[in-house]
Structure 1
Amino acid sequence: RNPAHGVRAPRIPHSLPKALSVDQAQALLDRSQLPPAETPVERRDMAMFEILYSGGLRLSELIGLDWQPVRAPGHVSHSWILAGEGEAVVRGKGGKTRIVPLGRQALTALHAWLEVRDGMLTPKSDEDARAALFLGERGQRISPRVVQLRLQALAQRVGLPLHVHPHSLRHSFASHLLQSAQDLRAVQELLGHANISTTQIYTRLDFQHLAASYDQAHPRAKRKTEN
Protein backbone atom coordinates (compact mmCIF):
# COMPACT_ATOMS: atom_id res chain seq x y z
CA ARG A 1 0.00 0.00 0.00
CA ASN A 2 1.37 3.36 -1.01
CA PRO A 3 1.20 5.76 1.99
CA ALA A 4 1.56 8.73 -0.37
CA HIS A 5 -1.48 7.74 -2.41
CA GLY A 6 -3.93 10.63 -2.50
CA VAL A 7 -1.46 13.20 -1.14
CA ARG A 8 -1.48 16.32 -3.23
CA ALA A 9 1.66 18.28 -3.86
CA PRO A 10 1.57 21.94 -2.84
CA ARG A 11 0.78 24.43 -5.55
CA ILE A 12 3.75 26.23 -6.99
CA PRO A 13 3.12 29.97 -6.83
CA HIS A 14 3.01 31.67 -10.23
CA SER A 15 5.19 34.74 -10.33
CA LEU A 16 3.79 37.70 -12.19
CA PRO A 17 5.49 38.64 -15.46
CA LYS A 18 7.81 41.61 -15.21
CA ALA A 19 6.42 44.52 -17.23
CA LEU A 20 7.90 47.96 -17.72
CA SER A 21 5.92 51.02 -16.75
CA VAL A 22 4.70 53.20 -19.60
CA ASP A 23 7.37 55.79 -18.79
CA GLN A 24 10.10 53.15 -18.76
CA ALA A 25 8.97 51.74 -22.12
CA GLN A 26 8.93 55.26 -23.59
CA ALA A 27 12.42 56.02 -22.22
CA LEU A 28 13.76 52.78 -23.71
CA LEU A 29 12.26 53.19 -27.18
CA ASP A 30 12.90 56.94 -27.36
CA ARG A 31 16.57 56.27 -26.47
CA SER A 32 16.30 58.75 -23.61
CA GLN A 33 19.32 61.11 -23.51
CA LEU A 34 21.01 59.19 -26.35
CA PRO A 35 21.55 60.39 -29.93
CA PRO A 36 19.14 59.07 -32.60
CA ALA A 37 19.81 55.64 -34.07
CA GLU A 38 21.99 56.17 -37.16
CA THR A 39 24.21 53.14 -37.78
CA PRO A 40 22.74 50.05 -39.48
CA VAL A 41 23.02 48.04 -36.23
CA GLU A 42 21.29 50.79 -34.23
CA ARG A 43 18.52 51.05 -36.83
CA ARG A 44 18.08 47.29 -36.76
CA ASP A 45 17.92 47.28 -32.97
CA MET A 46 15.29 50.00 -32.80
CA ALA A 47 13.15 48.25 -35.43
CA MET A 48 13.36 44.99 -33.44
CA PHE A 49 12.45 46.58 -30.13
CA GLU A 50 9.63 48.68 -31.57
CA ILE A 51 8.10 45.61 -33.23
CA LEU A 52 8.42 43.55 -30.04
CA TYR A 53 6.54 46.20 -28.08
CA SER A 54 4.11 47.25 -30.81
CA GLY A 55 3.05 43.71 -31.74
CA GLY A 56 3.56 41.84 -28.46
CA LEU A 57 5.70 39.24 -30.22
CA ARG A 58 7.63 36.41 -28.62
CA LEU A 59 11.38 36.44 -29.25
CA SER A 60 11.14 33.35 -31.47
CA GLU A 61 8.40 35.05 -33.51
CA LEU A 62 10.54 38.14 -34.01
CA ILE A 63 13.53 36.07 -35.14
CA GLY A 64 11.34 34.17 -37.61
CA LEU A 65 10.03 37.25 -39.44
CA ASP A 66 10.91 37.67 -43.12
CA TRP A 67 10.99 41.09 -44.77
CA GLN A 68 8.45 39.85 -47.33
CA PRO A 69 6.72 36.52 -48.11
CA VAL A 70 9.15 34.22 -49.92
CA ARG A 71 8.50 30.88 -51.61
CA ALA A 72 11.69 29.50 -53.15
CA PRO A 73 13.49 26.13 -53.28
CA GLY A 74 15.79 27.16 -50.43
CA HIS A 75 13.25 28.92 -48.22
CA VAL A 76 9.49 29.20 -47.60
CA SER A 77 8.23 32.01 -45.35
CA HIS A 78 6.03 31.28 -42.36
CA SER A 79 6.04 34.80 -40.85
CA TRP A 80 6.56 38.11 -42.58
CA ILE A 81 6.01 41.85 -42.52
CA LEU A 82 3.33 43.64 -44.55
CA ALA A 83 4.80 47.12 -44.25
CA GLY A 84 2.28 48.69 -46.63
CA GLU A 85 -0.63 47.42 -44.54
CA GLY A 86 1.08 48.13 -41.22
CA GLU A 87 0.81 44.49 -40.15
CA ALA A 88 2.83 41.38 -39.45
CA VAL A 89 1.78 37.82 -40.25
CA VAL A 90 3.12 35.70 -37.41
CA ARG A 91 3.25 31.95 -36.89
CA GLY A 92 3.18 31.33 -33.15
CA LYS A 93 3.04 28.35 -30.83
CA GLY A 94 1.32 25.26 -32.18
CA GLY A 95 1.78 26.47 -35.74
CA LYS A 96 -1.09 28.94 -35.39
CA THR A 97 -0.89 32.04 -37.56
CA ARG A 98 -2.20 35.43 -36.51
CA ILE A 99 -2.03 38.97 -37.85
CA VAL A 100 -0.83 41.72 -35.53
CA PRO A 101 -0.98 45.46 -36.21
CA LEU A 102 2.17 47.56 -36.05
CA GLY A 103 2.05 51.10 -34.72
CA ARG A 104 3.34 54.26 -36.38
CA GLN A 105 6.59 54.33 -34.42
CA ALA A 106 7.29 50.68 -35.26
CA LEU A 107 6.69 51.29 -38.96
CA THR A 108 8.95 54.36 -38.93
CA ALA A 109 11.75 52.34 -37.33
CA LEU A 110 11.09 49.45 -39.71
CA HIS A 111 11.42 51.63 -42.83
CA ALA A 112 14.63 53.16 -41.47
CA TRP A 113 16.06 49.67 -41.05
CA LEU A 114 14.92 48.41 -44.45
CA GLU A 115 16.81 51.28 -46.09
CA VAL A 116 20.10 49.79 -44.87
CA ARG A 117 19.24 46.10 -44.42
CA ASP A 118 20.73 44.86 -47.70
CA GLY A 119 24.07 46.37 -46.75
CA MET A 120 24.41 43.75 -43.99
CA LEU A 121 24.11 40.83 -46.40
CA THR A 122 27.37 39.11 -47.38
CA PRO A 123 28.37 36.67 -50.13
CA LYS A 124 28.02 33.91 -47.52
CA SER A 125 24.39 34.82 -46.69
CA ASP A 126 22.17 31.83 -47.45
CA GLU A 127 18.59 31.82 -48.73
CA ASP A 128 17.20 31.95 -45.21
CA ALA A 129 19.29 35.03 -44.43
CA ARG A 130 18.30 36.81 -47.63
CA ALA A 131 14.66 36.39 -46.65
CA ALA A 132 15.16 37.29 -42.98
CA LEU A 133 13.93 40.64 -41.74
CA PHE A 134 16.67 41.02 -39.13
CA LEU A 135 20.30 40.15 -39.78
CA GLY A 136 23.34 39.72 -37.59
CA GLU A 137 26.68 41.30 -38.37
CA ARG A 138 27.81 38.13 -40.19
CA GLY A 139 24.99 38.42 -42.68
CA GLN A 140 22.84 35.57 -41.32
CA ARG A 141 19.45 35.62 -39.62
CA ILE A 142 19.94 37.24 -36.23
CA SER A 143 20.22 34.94 -33.20
CA PRO A 144 18.04 35.19 -30.09
CA ARG A 145 21.08 35.80 -27.89
CA VAL A 146 22.09 38.87 -29.88
CA VAL A 147 18.60 40.35 -29.44
CA GLN A 148 18.75 39.73 -25.70
CA LEU A 149 22.20 41.30 -25.31
CA ARG A 150 21.42 44.34 -27.45
CA LEU A 151 18.18 45.05 -25.57
CA GLN A 152 19.84 44.77 -22.18
CA ALA A 153 22.70 47.02 -23.33
CA LEU A 154 20.24 49.69 -24.46
CA ALA A 155 18.31 49.46 -21.19
CA GLN A 156 21.54 50.08 -19.28
CA ARG A 157 22.50 53.00 -21.52
CA VAL A 158 19.19 54.79 -20.96
CA GLY A 159 19.44 54.17 -17.22
CA LEU A 160 16.60 51.75 -16.55
CA PRO A 161 17.08 50.29 -13.05
CA LEU A 162 16.04 46.74 -13.98
CA HIS A 163 16.93 43.82 -16.21
CA VAL A 164 15.05 44.09 -19.50
CA HIS A 165 14.68 41.07 -21.76
CA PRO A 166 12.61 40.64 -24.95
CA HIS A 167 9.70 39.03 -23.10
CA SER A 168 9.54 42.14 -20.89
CA LEU A 169 8.32 44.06 -23.94
CA ARG A 170 5.66 41.42 -24.64
CA HIS A 171 4.48 41.64 -21.03
CA SER A 172 4.51 45.44 -21.24
CA PHE A 173 2.47 45.35 -24.46
CA ALA A 174 -0.24 43.24 -22.79
CA SER A 175 -0.26 45.17 -19.52
CA HIS A 176 -0.43 48.60 -21.15
CA LEU A 177 -3.21 47.54 -23.55
CA LEU A 178 -5.30 46.21 -20.67
CA GLN A 179 -4.75 49.39 -18.67
CA SER A 180 -6.08 51.44 -21.59
CA ALA A 181 -8.63 49.27 -23.37
CA GLN A 182 -9.75 46.70 -20.73
CA ASP A 183 -10.45 44.21 -23.57
CA LEU A 184 -9.12 40.83 -22.47
CA ARG A 185 -10.33 38.98 -25.57
CA ALA A 186 -8.57 41.40 -27.91
CA VAL A 187 -5.32 41.05 -25.97
CA GLN A 188 -5.69 37.25 -26.09
CA GLU A 189 -5.96 37.35 -29.88
CA LEU A 190 -3.01 39.72 -30.28
CA LEU A 191 -0.79 37.63 -28.00
CA GLY A 192 -1.78 34.38 -29.71
CA HIS A 193 -2.88 32.65 -26.50
CA ALA A 194 -4.92 29.51 -27.08
CA ASN A 195 -6.56 29.78 -23.64
CA ILE A 196 -7.82 33.02 -22.14
CA SER A 197 -6.70 31.86 -18.68
CA THR A 198 -3.13 32.47 -19.86
CA THR A 199 -4.02 36.04 -20.71
CA GLN A 200 -5.82 36.62 -17.41
CA ILE A 201 -2.53 36.83 -15.53
CA TYR A 202 -2.17 40.33 -16.99
CA THR A 203 -5.34 41.41 -15.22
CA ARG A 204 -3.42 40.90 -11.98
CA LEU A 205 -0.76 43.29 -13.26
CA ASP A 206 -3.49 45.76 -14.12
CA PHE A 207 -4.94 45.42 -10.61
CA GLN A 208 -1.50 46.09 -9.13
CA HIS A 209 -1.37 49.29 -11.19
CA LEU A 210 -4.79 50.33 -9.91
CA ALA A 211 -3.86 49.46 -6.34
CA ALA A 212 -0.69 51.54 -6.55
CA SER A 213 -2.69 54.48 -7.88
CA TYR A 214 -5.20 54.00 -5.04
CA ASP A 215 -2.44 54.01 -2.42
CA GLN A 216 -1.05 57.25 -3.82
CA ALA A 217 -4.32 59.07 -4.34
CA HIS A 218 -6.76 58.03 -1.61
CA PRO A 219 -6.39 60.13 1.56
CA ARG A 220 -7.16 57.18 3.83
CA ALA A 221 -5.45 54.42 1.89
CA LYS A 222 -2.62 54.12 4.40
CA ARG A 223 -2.54 54.74 8.12
CA LYS A 224 -0.10 57.24 9.52
CA THR A 225 2.33 55.76 11.97
CA GLU A 226 2.42 57.37 15.39
CA ASN A 227 5.58 57.78 17.41
Structure 2
Amino acid sequence: MPAQSEEITREIPQENHLAAYLEVLRSQRQLSQHTLDSYLLDLRELMKLAAEAGQTELLTLSTHHIRRFAAQMHARGQNARSIARKLSSWRGYYRWLSETHELAANPVEGVRAPKKNKPLPKALGADDAVRLVAHRGSDQATPLANRAMFELLYSSGLRVSELVNLDVAAVSEAGYSSPGWVDMTEAEVHVTGKGGKPRIVPVGKPALAALADWLAIRTTLVKTDPHPLFLTERGTRISARLIQLRLKAHAQSLDIPANVHPHMLRHSFASHVLQSSGDLRAVQEMLGHSSIAATQVYTSLDFQHLAKVYDQTHPRAKK
Protein backbone atom coordinates (compact mmCIF):
# COMPACT_ATOMS: atom_id res chain seq x y z
CA MET A 1 0.00 0.00 0.00
CA PRO A 2 1.35 3.48 -0.81
CA ALA A 3 2.52 5.47 2.22
CA GLN A 4 -0.13 8.19 1.76
CA SER A 5 -2.93 5.63 1.60
CA GLU A 6 -1.50 3.85 4.63
CA GLU A 7 -1.64 7.07 6.66
CA ILE A 8 -5.25 7.68 5.61
CA THR A 9 -6.30 4.15 6.63
CA ARG A 10 -4.67 4.42 10.01
CA GLU A 11 -6.68 7.59 10.67
CA ILE A 12 -9.93 5.66 10.15
CA PRO A 13 -10.77 3.41 13.13
CA GLN A 14 -11.07 -0.26 12.30
CA GLU A 15 -14.63 -0.28 13.66
CA ASN A 16 -15.56 2.30 11.04
CA HIS A 17 -14.30 -0.04 8.32
CA LEU A 18 -16.46 -2.84 9.65
CA ALA A 19 -19.52 -0.61 9.93
CA ALA A 20 -19.05 0.71 6.40
CA TYR A 21 -18.61 -2.79 4.98
CA LEU A 22 -21.71 -4.12 6.73
CA GLU A 23 -23.70 -1.15 5.44
CA VAL A 24 -22.62 -2.01 1.89
CA LEU A 25 -23.78 -5.59 2.43
CA ARG A 26 -27.09 -4.38 3.84
CA SER A 27 -27.89 -1.71 1.24
CA GLN A 28 -26.39 -3.13 -1.94
CA ARG A 29 -26.68 -6.88 -1.40
CA GLN A 30 -29.77 -6.57 0.81
CA LEU A 31 -28.61 -9.23 3.23
CA SER A 32 -30.75 -10.05 6.25
CA GLN A 33 -29.82 -8.87 9.72
CA HIS A 34 -29.13 -12.46 10.73
CA THR A 35 -26.60 -12.83 7.90
CA LEU A 36 -25.02 -9.48 8.73
CA ASP A 37 -24.63 -10.57 12.35
CA SER A 38 -22.88 -13.74 11.15
CA TYR A 39 -20.47 -11.68 9.02
CA LEU A 40 -19.72 -9.45 11.99
CA LEU A 41 -19.00 -12.42 14.26
CA ASP A 42 -16.64 -13.88 11.67
CA LEU A 43 -14.78 -10.59 11.29
CA ARG A 44 -14.55 -10.11 15.06
CA GLU A 45 -12.98 -13.57 15.30
CA LEU A 46 -10.44 -12.45 12.71
CA MET A 47 -9.68 -9.39 14.83
CA LYS A 48 -9.27 -11.59 17.91
CA LEU A 49 -6.89 -13.98 16.12
CA ALA A 50 -4.92 -11.05 14.76
CA ALA A 51 -4.60 -9.53 18.24
CA GLU A 52 -3.37 -12.87 19.60
CA ALA A 53 -0.71 -12.80 16.89
CA GLY A 54 0.32 -9.25 17.85
CA GLN A 55 -1.32 -7.72 14.78
CA THR A 56 -3.79 -5.03 15.76
CA GLU A 57 -4.53 -3.85 12.21
CA LEU A 58 -6.31 -6.17 9.79
CA LEU A 59 -4.77 -4.18 6.95
CA THR A 60 -1.33 -5.47 7.90
CA LEU A 61 -2.21 -9.16 7.75
CA SER A 62 -0.58 -11.38 5.15
CA THR A 63 -1.52 -14.71 3.59
CA HIS A 64 0.84 -16.34 6.08
CA HIS A 65 -1.26 -14.97 8.96
CA ILE A 66 -4.53 -16.17 7.45
CA ARG A 67 -3.18 -19.69 6.89
CA ARG A 68 -2.01 -19.79 10.48
CA PHE A 69 -5.41 -18.60 11.72
CA ALA A 70 -7.16 -21.33 9.73
CA ALA A 71 -4.82 -23.92 11.25
CA GLN A 72 -5.47 -22.56 14.74
CA MET A 73 -9.24 -22.77 14.30
CA HIS A 74 -8.89 -26.34 13.07
CA ALA A 75 -6.68 -27.26 16.04
CA ARG A 76 -9.29 -25.79 18.39
CA GLY A 77 -11.88 -28.19 17.07
CA GLN A 78 -13.77 -26.06 14.57
CA ASN A 79 -15.04 -28.15 11.67
CA ALA A 80 -14.00 -27.62 8.06
CA ARG A 81 -17.39 -26.24 7.02
CA SER A 82 -17.27 -23.54 9.69
CA ILE A 83 -13.70 -22.57 8.80
CA ALA A 84 -14.58 -22.39 5.10
CA ARG A 85 -17.47 -20.04 5.87
CA LYS A 86 -15.24 -17.75 7.93
CA LEU A 87 -12.59 -17.63 5.24
CA SER A 88 -15.30 -16.67 2.76
CA SER A 89 -16.43 -13.84 5.06
CA TRP A 90 -12.86 -12.61 5.47
CA ARG A 91 -12.20 -12.88 1.74
CA GLY A 92 -15.22 -10.70 0.96
CA TYR A 93 -14.16 -8.10 3.49
CA TYR A 94 -10.64 -7.84 2.09
CA ARG A 95 -12.02 -7.68 -1.42
CA TRP A 96 -14.03 -4.64 -0.38
CA LEU A 97 -11.00 -3.14 1.37
CA SER A 98 -8.89 -3.56 -1.77
CA GLU A 99 -11.51 -1.67 -3.76
CA THR A 100 -11.98 1.15 -1.27
CA HIS A 101 -8.63 1.52 0.46
CA GLU A 102 -6.09 0.55 -2.20
CA LEU A 103 -5.11 -2.66 -0.44
CA ALA A 104 -2.17 -4.17 -2.30
CA ALA A 105 -3.44 -7.77 -2.17
CA ASN A 106 -6.18 -9.85 -0.62
CA PRO A 107 -4.42 -12.03 1.99
CA VAL A 108 -7.27 -14.57 2.01
CA GLU A 109 -7.10 -15.37 -1.70
CA GLY A 110 -5.76 -18.86 -2.23
CA VAL A 111 -6.24 -19.90 1.40
CA ARG A 112 -8.46 -22.96 1.69
CA ALA A 113 -10.11 -24.58 4.66
CA PRO A 114 -8.81 -27.94 5.87
CA LYS A 115 -10.36 -30.86 4.04
CA LYS A 116 -13.61 -32.13 5.47
CA ASN A 117 -13.16 -35.31 7.40
CA LYS A 118 -15.03 -38.17 5.76
CA PRO A 119 -17.22 -39.95 8.26
CA LEU A 120 -15.93 -43.40 9.10
CA PRO A 121 -18.11 -46.24 7.88
CA LYS A 122 -20.18 -47.65 10.71
CA ALA A 123 -19.43 -51.21 11.66
CA LEU A 124 -20.99 -53.53 14.20
CA GLY A 125 -18.96 -54.96 17.03
CA ALA A 126 -17.90 -58.55 16.43
CA ASP A 127 -20.31 -59.92 19.06
CA ASP A 128 -23.30 -58.07 17.60
CA ALA A 129 -22.37 -59.05 14.05
CA VAL A 130 -22.17 -62.74 14.95
CA ARG A 131 -25.40 -62.59 16.96
CA LEU A 132 -27.15 -60.89 14.05
CA VAL A 133 -26.20 -63.41 11.37
CA ALA A 134 -26.14 -66.58 13.47
CA HIS A 135 -29.63 -66.21 14.92
CA ARG A 136 -31.78 -69.01 13.59
CA GLY A 137 -35.51 -68.49 13.23
CA SER A 138 -37.95 -71.10 12.05
CA ASP A 139 -37.42 -73.57 9.22
CA GLN A 140 -39.77 -71.64 6.96
CA ALA A 141 -38.48 -70.32 3.63
CA THR A 142 -38.19 -66.62 4.54
CA PRO A 143 -36.16 -67.07 7.78
CA LEU A 144 -33.88 -69.57 6.04
CA ALA A 145 -33.32 -67.19 3.12
CA ASN A 146 -32.67 -64.33 5.52
CA ARG A 147 -30.08 -66.26 7.50
CA ALA A 148 -28.28 -67.41 4.35
CA MET A 149 -28.22 -63.86 2.93
CA PHE A 150 -27.08 -62.21 6.16
CA GLU A 151 -24.39 -64.85 6.76
CA LEU A 152 -23.09 -64.40 3.21
CA LEU A 153 -23.04 -60.60 3.45
CA TYR A 154 -20.93 -60.77 6.61
CA SER A 155 -18.88 -63.82 5.65
CA SER A 156 -17.65 -62.41 2.34
CA GLY A 157 -18.15 -58.64 2.55
CA LEU A 158 -20.48 -58.52 -0.45
CA ARG A 159 -22.29 -55.44 -1.68
CA VAL A 160 -26.04 -55.93 -1.55
CA SER A 161 -26.18 -55.52 -5.34
CA GLU A 162 -23.70 -58.39 -5.69
CA LEU A 163 -25.78 -60.57 -3.39
CA VAL A 164 -28.97 -59.84 -5.35
CA ASN A 165 -27.30 -60.87 -8.64
CA LEU A 166 -26.11 -64.25 -7.40
CA ASP A 167 -27.45 -67.31 -9.25
CA VAL A 168 -27.51 -70.98 -8.33
CA ALA A 169 -25.00 -71.92 -11.04
CA ALA A 170 -22.21 -70.33 -13.07
CA VAL A 171 -23.76 -71.46 -16.35
CA SER A 172 -27.30 -72.74 -16.81
CA GLU A 173 -28.37 -75.64 -18.96
CA ALA A 174 -29.57 -73.11 -21.53
CA GLY A 175 -26.11 -71.55 -21.68
CA TYR A 176 -26.94 -68.50 -19.53
CA SER A 177 -23.72 -67.16 -17.96
CA SER A 178 -24.19 -65.84 -14.44
CA PRO A 179 -22.63 -62.64 -13.05
CA GLY A 180 -22.20 -64.38 -9.71
CA TRP A 181 -22.58 -67.74 -7.97
CA VAL A 182 -21.45 -69.68 -4.90
CA ASP A 183 -19.14 -72.65 -5.33
CA MET A 184 -20.16 -74.79 -2.36
CA THR A 185 -17.38 -77.33 -2.98
CA GLU A 186 -14.55 -74.79 -3.06
CA ALA A 187 -16.18 -72.57 -0.38
CA GLU A 188 -15.97 -69.41 -2.45
CA VAL A 189 -18.31 -66.90 -4.00
CA HIS A 190 -17.77 -65.48 -7.49
CA VAL A 191 -19.15 -61.96 -7.97
CA THR A 192 -19.07 -59.18 -10.51
CA GLY A 193 -18.40 -55.88 -8.75
CA LYS A 194 -18.34 -52.26 -9.77
CA GLY A 195 -17.15 -51.60 -13.29
CA GLY A 196 -17.79 -55.21 -14.24
CA LYS A 197 -14.76 -56.32 -12.23
CA PRO A 198 -14.96 -60.02 -11.23
CA ARG A 199 -13.53 -61.33 -7.98
CA ILE A 200 -13.57 -64.44 -5.85
CA VAL A 201 -14.03 -64.29 -2.07
CA PRO A 202 -13.88 -67.11 0.50
CA VAL A 203 -17.11 -68.21 2.19
CA GLY A 204 -17.05 -69.32 5.82
CA LYS A 205 -18.47 -72.59 7.13
CA PRO A 206 -21.47 -71.02 8.93
CA ALA A 207 -22.47 -69.24 5.72
CA LEU A 208 -22.11 -72.47 3.72
CA ALA A 209 -24.30 -74.32 6.25
CA ALA A 210 -26.95 -71.58 6.08
CA LEU A 211 -26.84 -71.70 2.27
CA ALA A 212 -27.27 -75.48 2.30
CA ASP A 213 -30.38 -75.14 4.50
CA TRP A 214 -31.78 -72.51 2.16
CA LEU A 215 -31.04 -74.48 -1.02
CA ALA A 216 -32.92 -77.46 0.40
CA ILE A 217 -36.14 -75.44 0.48
CA ARG A 218 -35.47 -72.99 -2.36
CA THR A 219 -36.80 -75.34 -5.06
CA THR A 220 -40.29 -75.04 -3.58
CA LEU A 221 -40.32 -71.35 -4.50
CA VAL A 222 -39.02 -71.61 -8.06
CA LYS A 223 -41.67 -70.58 -10.58
CA THR A 224 -40.77 -68.88 -13.87
CA ASP A 225 -37.11 -67.95 -13.33
CA PRO A 226 -34.86 -70.83 -12.18
CA HIS A 227 -31.65 -68.79 -12.00
CA PRO A 228 -31.74 -66.50 -8.89
CA LEU A 229 -30.08 -67.88 -5.78
CA PHE A 230 -32.36 -65.87 -3.50
CA LEU A 231 -36.09 -65.72 -4.18
CA THR A 232 -39.09 -64.05 -2.61
CA GLU A 233 -42.18 -65.96 -1.56
CA ARG A 234 -43.58 -65.16 -5.02
CA GLY A 235 -40.69 -66.82 -6.76
CA THR A 236 -39.07 -63.62 -8.06
CA ARG A 237 -35.45 -62.52 -7.59
CA ILE A 238 -35.16 -60.71 -4.28
CA SER A 239 -34.50 -56.96 -4.41
CA ALA A 240 -31.90 -54.90 -2.55
CA ARG A 241 -34.67 -52.90 -0.90
CA LEU A 242 -36.36 -56.00 0.49
CA ILE A 243 -33.05 -57.24 1.90
CA GLN A 244 -32.57 -53.86 3.60
CA LEU A 245 -36.01 -54.01 5.18
CA ARG A 246 -35.58 -57.61 6.34
CA LEU A 247 -32.14 -56.96 7.85
CA LYS A 248 -33.30 -53.85 9.69
CA ALA A 249 -36.33 -55.67 11.13
CA HIS A 250 -34.15 -58.63 12.14
CA ALA A 251 -31.66 -56.38 13.95
CA GLN A 252 -34.46 -54.58 15.78
CA SER A 253 -35.95 -57.90 16.89
CA LEU A 254 -32.60 -58.73 18.52
CA ASP A 255 -32.32 -55.27 20.17
CA ILE A 256 -29.06 -54.54 18.39
CA PRO A 257 -28.46 -50.80 19.01
CA ALA A 258 -27.70 -49.65 15.48
CA ASN A 259 -29.53 -48.73 12.31
CA VAL A 260 -28.32 -51.89 10.59
CA HIS A 261 -28.21 -52.04 6.80
CA PRO A 262 -26.49 -54.44 4.36
CA HIS A 263 -23.48 -52.19 3.78
CA MET A 264 -22.85 -52.15 7.53
CA LEU A 265 -22.21 -55.89 7.34
CA ARG A 266 -19.68 -55.23 4.57
CA HIS A 267 -17.96 -52.63 6.75
CA SER A 268 -18.05 -55.04 9.70
CA PHE A 269 -16.49 -57.80 7.60
CA ALA A 270 -13.65 -55.50 6.49
CA SER A 271 -12.87 -54.05 9.91
CA HIS A 272 -13.02 -57.42 11.70
CA VAL A 273 -10.77 -59.14 9.14
CA LEU A 274 -8.33 -56.23 9.35
CA GLN A 275 -8.32 -56.32 13.16
CA SER A 276 -7.50 -60.02 13.11
CA SER A 277 -5.01 -60.12 10.24
CA GLY A 278 -3.63 -56.61 9.75
CA ASP A 279 -3.47 -57.46 6.04
CA LEU A 280 -4.80 -54.36 4.28
CA ARG A 281 -3.98 -55.67 0.81
CA ALA A 282 -6.00 -58.86 1.37
CA VAL A 283 -8.98 -56.81 2.58
CA GLN A 284 -8.68 -54.65 -0.53
CA GLU A 285 -8.83 -57.73 -2.76
CA MET A 286 -11.78 -59.26 -0.95
CA LEU A 287 -13.75 -55.99 -1.05
CA GLY A 288 -12.93 -55.47 -4.72
CA HIS A 289 -11.50 -51.97 -4.25
CA SER A 290 -9.52 -50.84 -7.29
CA SER A 291 -7.34 -48.61 -5.11
CA ILE A 292 -5.99 -49.36 -1.66
CA ALA A 293 -6.81 -45.75 -0.71
CA ALA A 294 -10.47 -46.78 -0.57
CA THR A 295 -9.60 -49.56 1.85
CA GLN A 296 -7.40 -47.47 4.14
CA VAL A 297 -10.44 -46.00 5.88
CA TYR A 298 -10.68 -49.32 7.72
CA THR A 299 -7.33 -48.68 9.36
CA SER A 300 -9.09 -45.86 11.21
CA LEU A 301 -11.76 -48.29 12.35
CA ASP A 302 -8.99 -50.63 13.47
CA PHE A 303 -7.37 -47.82 15.45
CA GLN A 304 -10.72 -47.05 17.09
CA HIS A 305 -10.84 -50.65 18.25
CA LEU A 306 -7.27 -50.44 19.60
CA ALA A 307 -8.02 -47.14 21.32
CA LYS A 308 -11.11 -48.61 22.97
CA VAL A 309 -9.13 -51.60 24.24
CA TYR A 310 -6.41 -49.26 25.51
CA ASP A 311 -8.89 -47.01 27.32
CA GLN A 312 -10.56 -50.00 28.96
CA THR A 313 -7.42 -51.87 30.02
CA HIS A 314 -4.37 -49.62 30.38
CA PRO A 315 -3.76 -48.39 33.94
CA ARG A 316 -2.71 -44.97 32.69
CA ALA A 317 -5.54 -44.49 30.19
CA LYS A 318 -8.04 -41.69 30.73
CA LYS A 319 -11.20 -42.97 32.31
Deviation at 1:197, TM superposition (A): 0.6
In structure 2, what is the equivalent of residue 96 of structure 1? 197
The alignment's TM-score, normalised by the length of structure 1, stands at: 0.88
Percent identity between matched residues is: 54
Give the corresponding residue for 1:67: 168
- For the 8 Å contact 2:134–2:147, the answer to whether it is kept is no
Deviations 1:128-187 (A, max 9, x none): xx1110011221110111100100111011110111000010000000001100000000
Q: How does 1:205-220 map to 2 (within 5 A)?
A: 205-220=301-316
Kindly indicate whether the alpha-carbon contact (under 8 Å) linking 1:59 and 1:144 is maintained by their aligned counterparts in 2: yes
Cα contact 1:47–1:110 (8 A) shared by 2: yes
- 1:9 is displaced (CA, Å) by 6.7
Q: Secondary structure at the match of 2:230?
A: coil
Amino acid at match of 2:131: A
What CA RMSD, in Å, does the superposition of the two structures yield over aligned residues? 1.9
The match for 2:116 is 12
Determine whether 1:147 maps to 2:147: no
- Match runs of 1:34-73 below 5 Å: 36-71=137-172
1:8 is displaced (CA, Å) by 4.7
Distance 1:144 1:195, change over 3 A: same
AA of the residue aligned to 1:19: A
**Contiguous gaps of at least 5 residues in structure 1:** none
Report the counterpart of residue 182 of structure 2 in structure 1.
81
Q: Secondary structure at the match of 2:219?
A: helix
Structure 2 unmatched runs, 5+? 1-94, 96-107
| Residue of structure 2 equivalent to 1:159 | 255
Matches of 2:229 and 2:109 in 1, distance apart? 54
Counterparts of 1:141 and 1:5, CA distance in 2: 55
State the structure with more CA Rg. 2
Bigger relative CO (Cα 8 Å, ≥ 6 apart)? 1
Kindly provide the amino acid, as one letter, of the partner of residue 56 in structure 1. G
Q: Could you list the runs of 4 or more consecutive aligned residues of structure 1 that deviate by over 2 angstroms after TM superposition?
A: 3-13, 70-76
Higher helix proportion (structure 1 or 2):
2
Tell me: CA distance 1:72–1:7, structure 2 relative to 1, closer, same or farther (3 Å): farther
Contact 1:51 1:106 survives alignment (8 Å): yes
Q: Give the Å deviation of 1:204.
A: 0.1
Distance 1:111 1:103 in 2: 12
Residue 23 of structure 1 aligns to a residue whose secondary structure is helix
2-structure distance, mates of 1:105, 1:44:
14
Give the aligned length: 213
Shift of 1:72: 6.4
